[in-house]
């Protein structure tokens, strides 16, 4: 069974750094792009970017470029979404998504940024 | 602001057929395939339709998708109370080099 298991909810202060994770299983981790999607409170879905685990090639849409970093550790089949300086506007639910023939979403990670 | 335009809301009574539209441009829907997602509160989104009109295994045939030019549509027939959810279209955008989601449509079953 293809599964993506994300790390737990986080509560942080503005300016802090954060890394959330997404562990894949049941499919070829290296050969399938992993995408990250944001949903801010009361808002719609936004695609942030993706990574190709085989060579760590990434692409982001402009609104996220430079503010987040997507990375992977293929040795443990895990993808990461990282912030170096959080803002209150980063408060959202974050999902990882993979499509190895059948599309699978992680359960989501809630990030709350508040002073 | 999304460049895939969906109506913010739709409604119908049990058993009815409802349709949700998604309007884009040549750089997204006009040149790429469209997916549709169902998002129930407290759960992860679920893909209903991929590649314009293909249903993944397990999705009831009450759900159907179509595309024409730079627009796409999701139809739900035999509406059921459990269909009450948010629905999103999505398509790759060649200019953005990224995936675009529509703004979402909240479906209410009256």
Residues of A whose CB is below 8 A from B101: 37, 44-47
Tell me the mean pLDDT per 10 residues along chain A, length 115.
97 98 96 97 96 96 95 98 98 95 93 97
Average pLDDT over residues B44-71: 96
Residues of A whose CB is below 8 A from B99: 35, 47
Q: What is the pLDDT of residue A100?
A: 84
Banded pLDDT at B1 (limits 50, 70, 90): low
Residue B46, pLDDT > 90, answer yes
* A50, A70 contact by CB (below 8 A): yes
* A57, A112 contact by CB (below 8 A): no
Banded pLDDT at B38 (limits 50, 70, 90): very high
Contacts A–B by Cβ distance under 8 A: 44
CA B86 to CA A10: how far, in whole Å? 25
Residue B88, pLDDT > 90, answer yes
The kind and range of the H/E element at A77 are none
Q: What is the pLDDT of residue B11?
A: 97
Residues of chain B numbered 63-102 and touching chain A (CB < 8 Å): 86, 88, 90, 96-102
Choose between B34 and A102: higher pLDDT. Answer: B34
Average pLDDT over residues B16-44: 96
Of B44, B57, B103, the CB nearest to A95: B44
Strand partners, A37: A47, A95
CA A55 to CA A110: how far, in whole Å? 28
Three-state secondary structure readout of A49-68 = EEEECCCCEEEECCCCECCE
* B78, B15 contact by CB (below 8 A): yes
Q: What would you report as the CA-atom Rg of chain A, rounded to the nearest whole angstrom?
A: 13
- Which DSSP symbol is given to B4? B
Banded pLDDT at B50 (limits 50, 70, 90): very high
Q: What is the pLDDT of residue B110?
A: 93
Average pLDDT over residues B13-39: 97
Instruction: Determine the 3-state secondary structure of B104 from DSSP.
Output: coil
Residues ≥6 apart with Cβ < 8 Å to B88? A44, A45, B6, B36, B37, B39, B45, B101, B102, B104, B105
Q: What is the pLDDT of residue A102?
A: 85
Spatial CA neighbour of B96 closest among B33, B15, B25: B25
Task: Note whether B101 contacts A105, CB cutoff 8 Å.
Answer: no
Residue B98, pLDDT > 70, answer yes
Q: What is the pLDDT of residue A42?
A: 94
Q: Which token pair is A69? A: 């970093």
Q: What is the pLDDT of residue A110?
A: 98
Spatial CA neighbour of A70 closest among A47, A95, A36, A93: A36
CA B38 to CA B50: how far, in whole Å? 12
């Amino acid at each position: 069974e293809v599964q993506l298991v994300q790390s737990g909810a986080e509560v942080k202060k503005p300016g802090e750094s954060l890394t959330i994770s997404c562990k894949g299983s049941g499919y070829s981790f290296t050969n399938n792009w992993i995408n990250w999607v944001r949903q801010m409170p009361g808002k719609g879905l936004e695609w942030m970017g993706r990574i190709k685990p085989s060579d760590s090639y990434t692409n982001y849409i402009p609104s996220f470029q430079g503010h987040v970093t997507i990375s992977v550790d293929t040795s443990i089949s895990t993808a990461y979404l990282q912030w170096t300086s959080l803002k209150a506007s980063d408060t959202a639910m974050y999902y990882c998504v993979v499509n190895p023939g059948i599309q699978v979403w992680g359960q989501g990670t809630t990030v709350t940024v508040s002073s | 602001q999304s460049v895939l335009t969906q109506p913010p809301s739709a409604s119908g009574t049990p058993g009815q057929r409802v349709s949700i539209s998604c309007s884009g441009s040549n750089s997204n829907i006009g040149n790429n395939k469209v997916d549709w997602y169902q998002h129930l509160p407290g759960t992860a989104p679920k893909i209903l339709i991929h590649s314009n009109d293909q249903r993944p295994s397990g999705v009831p045939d009450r759900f159907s998708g179509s595309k024409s030019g730079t627009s796409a549509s999701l139809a739900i027939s035999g509406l059921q109370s459990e269909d009450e959810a948010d629905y999103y279209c999505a398509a790759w955008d060649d200019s953005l080099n990224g995936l675009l989601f529509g703004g979402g449509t909240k479906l209410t079953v009256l």
